[in-house]
Amino acid sequence: MMAIPTKEDLENLTQQQLIEKYPETFAKYQSAGTFVDRPFLDRINPFTPFNKKKFVPNEKAKQLLDKYKKDYGQNLVVLPLSAYYGDEKAKKLVMQGVQGVYDPTSFVGGLGDRRNRYVYLNPEGVTTKGEDGLTRKSPGLFTLAHEAYHAYDQSLLDDPRFGRLPSGFQKVLAGGIDALTDDKFDFDKSSRRFADAKRVYSLPIEEAYKEMGKEGMHRFKKELDANIGASKDFDTLGIEGFSTKNKNLFDYPRSYVRGHMDSFKDTLYKDAQGYDYFTDTYTDTGFNTVRGIQKRIPEMEQKYKDEASAYEDEVLVPYIMEKSKNNPPTKEELDKYLRRNTN
């Protein structure tokens, strides 16, 4: 269980001492800076974001922002989660621990925007203690680098089931046509995922599992790419941090693999028990029907996990080996680090 810092420790310990004693709270990430109130004249300036908050980067975050501008040519605009979700929803997401978001299809700041990229960060993502002895919450530096990688990754638009997604002006145009035609053609591809679900779930279970799993696997790969990309940016700029040393570059991406396995399994069990989504009731179809599903799930899940592991072997393992080339891990050590079942 995560230890909660005491009032006495917060008042008396240095930042480094807090990191050593409460790593889950103080060592996970470094601060990227802070959000301050944006001056009114700045808000009405057509060349700056209208949002009421302005991001003031610290020195390390400024290094990252300068790197992205130099590498890609577009400005990286950093805003709080509330600028994307609104105040009320953003508060809930902050409480849930959401660190950041990037919308590749957005008209402003998406992958179709030739001038800017907009990323949205949790303003309370990390906890640090300043030289004045006060603890503060601020957006995380690693989260900034992670979302920035997304912001310049055009492959985010390559939906594994429905093809290339429209972004920027294309999305606005497609959405306008869809509105005029009562979504007859779904040019913006916003309705296909729901409309196609009935067809997919009518397929044989193994085929449906593979088809529905494409989205989760795509997200897993893109999130892993972003974590590795962020870590490499830290390496390039000589930034040391908990997120680059340890460690858990695969943890968050794997949540999308687990998410598909859990949601599909839940759907199969409900169907096997005759669940009616409209009345929220079950029709008892018998133990054998459910048991038959249970017997087929482990093999499907293992294939899905094997696909994820193969991608980790392709992109993550080489990075790990490069970072530890002076003392490379054995296969057993690597499997243990990646928390893979070696039995």
Query: What integer is the mean pLDDT of 77-83?
Result: 95
Residue with tokens 């079942």: 341
pLDDT digits (tens, 9 = 90+) for 15-46: 667 766 776 556 556 889 999 988 777 776 66
In this predicted structure, what is the pLDDT of residue 7? 79
- Parse the chain into domains and list their residue ranges: 13-152, 163-190, 197-337
Instruction: Write the CA distances from 147 to 56, 152, 210, 302, 313, integer angstroms.
Output: 17, 9, 28, 30, 23
DSSP, residue by residue, 199-240:
HHHTS-HHHHHHHHHHHHHHHHHHHHHHHHHHHHHHHHHT--
The pTM for the full model equals 0.81
Residue with tokens 């399994």: 265
H or E element at residue 164 = strand 163-164
pLDDT digits (tens, 9 = 90+) for 285-329: 666 677 778 888 899 999 999 999 999 999 999 998 888 888 888
Characterise 238 by phi-psi region: left (phi > 0), alpha (psi -120 to 50), beta (else).
left
Q: How far is Cα 241 from Cα 231, in angstroms, rounded to an integer?
A: 9
Q: How far is Cα 111 from Cα 117, in angstroms, rounded to an integer?
A: 7
pLDDT digits (tens, 9 = 90+) for 189-226: 566 666 666 777 778 888 989 999 999 999 999 999 99
In this predicted structure, what is the pLDDT of residue 127? 77
**Which amino acid type is present at position 166?**
P
Query: What integer is the mean pLDDT of 186-191?
Result: 59
Average pLDDT of the residues of the chain:
82
In this predicted structure, what is the pLDDT of residue 309? 95
The answer to whether 139 and 35 are in contact (CB under 8 A) is yes
